[in-house]
Structure 1
Amino acid sequence: MAKKKKGNTWQFFQMLGKTFMFPIALLSICGMLLGIGSAFTNESMIEAIPFLGNTYVNLFFQFMVQLGLFAFNNLGALFAMAIPLGLLKEEKEFGAFTGLVSFMAMHIGTSFYLSATDQLAAADQMSEAGQTMILGIQTYNTSVLGGIVAGLMAYALYRKLATLKIPEALGFYSGPRLAPIAMLFIMGVFGLVAVPLFWQPFYAFFKMLGEWITTSGPIGYFSYAVAERVAIPFGLNHLVTSTFRFTPIGGTAIINGQEYMGTVNMFLAYVANNMDIPLDLAGKMEQGKLMIQYGLCGAALAMYHCAKPQNKKKIKGMLITGALTVVVGGISEPIEFLFLFAFPPLFVVHTILNGLANMVLPYLGVLMGYTGDLIQFVTFGVLRGTRTGWPIAVAFAAGYFVLYYFIFKWAIIRFDIKTPGREEELELDESEASEFEQLSAYKGIAMLKALGGKENIIAIDNCVTRLRLELKDVSLINEEEIKNAGGIAVVHLDEHAIQVIVGTQVYALRKQINKAMELS
């Protein structure tokens, strides 16, 4: 029973990490809008390109800045809606609405407490008092933590409230309608009592941790980057990065009279004010990721060169797609999982190289900040000028490409690692490939069969790169057939839960599996 409970807890945290991708996806686009808009309204940029000084052109880029600030200014509310939206299996839309009501009610309760105790700070003193305006409510600046708490409480209580029996005379308010109504009162009291009691010491504790990372210098930057990579195989990396990006553990700063917490919040504030980011923030902005992205391209080239001649043509497309995905999209898992399970020591080396890059780059003058993919590199690096140190980053990335290539080529040959193309038999033969091209649901049907059939599947979901499955009997799966149907590797979590690493096509594959289950 204890093992089953541990497995359920593990799955919950994995699912929680997946829900963070809803606001993070929006934030990444808003960040690009903010970066582009700020870059092209920069006075030095206008001096260099006078066309940008045109009234209508300038207004257009100012509008981009305002759109970019949307997610930045409403992160707490977005997280509060995203958590029940992602975690609930049914009535997701009602759960998301309940999350938003919970978030607002909590801050209304806190605001009432501050008003009743005469602690509401003046507008020019809110930052010093740890207060801010959230959706028009003056309250403690809990940022995304408040959204996570409200979202989790909405998720935890939704099913109980939605199924609660009430008198027939009040039947109109039963079911999904009852949940947000009840949470209005519950979270109002929570904000009135619990938030004032716990927030200040909680904030002080996390601020202390953030200060340790900041003051520990290169050791802190190295440790953070290593922790982020180590969490990749377990699907918990988004929990690690989100903690630093959106909470006081990532640090705090007062920028232009406003207090910001979390690396992304501080970074975007610096960008919006056209300011250079400090070295300590650069060390916590995962700049090393840019280096390992190009390093992984070198690893992909090494895998191609080490493949058997008759298999090179078959794996070329997969490796090129993986390389483009990691460079353009910033998603590294499709390449990482090609060697993680085949030879874990290579992943250890990869993790250490990520930490070293993240530790060294700020001291070389690289202060680009948020550069998770090629577009962000151009937006926050190139377009903001050489002051960001992007030319140094390019030279460093080229070095990592070469370093990864020779490390991986040596290791693959020395230890006979079965990376793609080195297996005795590879994927589909020509007749099977023809059938695959003709049948759009082929992969879904094949994967369903490899997973033990419809009767063996209790629950199926996906994140960015992997299928998440709860099965009746894990022993019924056929890992070789799973790989033939599009899987890269299988991760066993417990006797009922597995993950199938697929890549960025995972959503389409999951939909095909769902369709195959309906047909069967």
Structure 2
Amino acid sequence: MYPYLQRLGRSLMLPVAVLPVAALMLGIGYAIDSQGGNQFSALLMTAGDTILSNLGILFALGVALGMSNDRDGSSALSGLVAFLMVTTLLKPDKLTDIVNIPLEELSYSFEKIDNAFIGIISGLTASSLYNKFSKTRLPDAFAFFSGRRMVPILTSIAMIFVSGLLYFIWPPVYEGLVGFGEWISGMGWFGAALYGFFNRLLIPTGLHHALNAVFWFDLIGINDIGNFWASVGEKGVTGMYQAGFFPVMMFGLPAAGLAIYRKADPRYRKEVGSLYLAGAVTAFVTGVTEPIEFSFMFIAPVLYFAHAILSMLSLGFAAFMQ
């Protein structure tokens, strides 16, 4: 299991490598004009958000390619097919026709189906099918569809069944996390600490957005980010679900990157240094921490758990001190 997770972690390095430049474009754009009225800032924000809003599809491509035996491009195509199938079949406006249920009766969780977790599932499914069937030969009459060409076809069929499973699994998982967030929201500084812990633990799956919806936005009336920017709310309370992240983003994770660089094999230290330097600048300037986190979360899961604990302490302490 551990070698499999290490291989998955290496596979994610390809899509993760593009995140720093996207985050920097977004950060610079917001620094110029946070309202987007400036044309150049609007251009930068749109360009950066294009990448950051499509992590799912990037992960599907990267995982499918990295987890395939020979890293052939058709495996990445299969990952793309897998992701498009599941996110389209479970899109609310499509799903209402498929299951014959009114749109307003569908779970709101399906609005968040195109996430990193679904991308990883799509990539793993596609790579598994590729490794098993990419060398399969069909009878002469169907020879054109043999080998690698058969894999995207099989992947599209497989994802129909995966989508069927997710139709039942995804809503209770997503809604359960939202309910959990609502429950801990009444615990004051200790609730903020728990939020920080589970926010970090859920990043590998993309499900941290379920908790973010509770605390950062107006799902249940907290609206921490909106109230902070509007200078409304309660002094010492508004912003309590954000403040503790700043020490982590600006100092904790860059320091972790420096530590990993110093302990890296000298043969690879230059590559490791360039990766973590870019990730550190991105985390410090923009608050986008995924380039650093995805570089070690699967390769060193115990270290990532320690990162979640330290994030919990940072959010709890900041909220306690108001």
Q: Using structure 2 for the length normalisation, give the TM-score.
A: 0.66
Please identify which structure carries the higher helix content. Answer: 2
What's the secondary structure of 1:279's corresponding residue? coil
Structure 2 match to 1:68: 48
Structure 2 match to 1:86: 66
Kindly indicate whether residue 96 of structure 2 is the aligned counterpart of residue 114 of structure 1: yes
Preserved contact between residue 59 and residue 116 of structure 2 (Cα < 8 Å): yes
Matched residue pairs, number? 279
1:242–1:25 CA distance, 2 compared to 1 (3 A): farther
Structure 1 match to 2:213: 252
Pick one of 117, 127, 130 that aligns with 2:109.
Answer: 130
Q: Give the residue type in structure 2 aligned to 1:166.
A: L
What's the secondary structure of 2:108's corresponding residue? coil
Q: Give the residue type in structure 2 aligned to 1:11.
A: P
Kindly indicate whether residue 81 of structure 2 is the aligned counterpart of residue 101 of structure 1: yes
Structure 1 match to 2:318: 361
Following TM superposition, by how much is the alpha carbon of 1:190 offset from its aligned partner in structure 2, in angstroms?
3.0
Q: Give the residue type in structure 1 aligned to 2:58.
A: L
Please identify which structure carries the higher strand content. Answer: 1
Following TM superposition, by how much is the alpha carbon of 1:174 offset from its aligned partner in structure 2, in angstroms?
1.2
Following TM superposition, by how much is the alpha carbon of 1:90 offset from its aligned partner in structure 2, in angstroms?
0.8
Following TM superposition, by how much is the alpha carbon of 1:100 offset from its aligned partner in structure 2, in angstroms?
0.8
Preserved contact between residue 189 and residue 317 of structure 2 (Cα < 8 Å): yes
Larger Rg: 1
Structure 2 match to 1:144: 116
Larger relative contact order (Cα-Cα within 8 Å, sequence gap ≥ 6)? 2
Preserved contact between residue 38 and residue 65 of structure 1 (Cα < 8 Å): yes
The sequence identity of aligned pairs, in percent, is 23
Cα distance in 2 between the residues matched to 1:297 and 1:200: 36
Pick one of 160, 170, 189 that aligns with 2:142.
Answer: 170
1:78-477 to 2 correspondences below 5 Å = 78-111=58-91, 112-119=94-101, 121=103, 129-132=108-111, 141-191=113-163, 193-211=164-182, 214-219=185-190, 222=193, 240=201, 242-243=203-204, 246-248=207-209, 250-253=211-214, 279=239, 281-282=241-242, 285=245, 287-292=247-252, 325=277, 328=281, 356-362=313-319
Preserved contact between residue 115 and residue 206 of structure 2 (Cα < 8 Å): no
1:175–1:216 CA distance, 2 compared to 1 (3 A): farther
Following TM superposition, by how much is the alpha carbon of 1:362 offset from its aligned partner in structure 2, in angstroms?
4.6
1:115–1:226 CA distance, 2 compared to 1 (3 A): closer
Cα distance in 2 between the residues matched to 1:178 and 1:350: 42
Q: Give the residue type in structure 1 aligned to 2:24.
A: M
Unaligned ranges ≥5, structure 2: 232-236, 263-269, 284-290, 294-305
Kindly indicate whether residue 6 of structure 2 is the aligned counterpart of residue 26 of structure 1: no
1:59–1:296 CA distance, 2 compared to 1 (3 A): closer
Cα distance in 2 between the residues matched to 1:33 and 1:219: 35
Q: Using structure 1 for the length normalisation, give the TM-score.
A: 0.44
Cα distance in 1 between the residues matched to 2:29 and 2:44: 5
Cα distance in 1 between the residues matched to 2:247 and 2:77: 36
Preserved contact between residue 225 and residue 358 of structure 1 (Cα < 8 Å): yes
1:245–1:219 CA distance, 2 compared to 1 (3 A): farther
Preserved contact between residue 207 and residue 248 of structure 1 (Cα < 8 Å): no
Following TM superposition, by how much is the alpha carbon of 1:59 offset from its aligned partner in structure 2, in angstroms?
1.2
Q: Give the residue type in structure 1 aligned to 2:160.
A: G
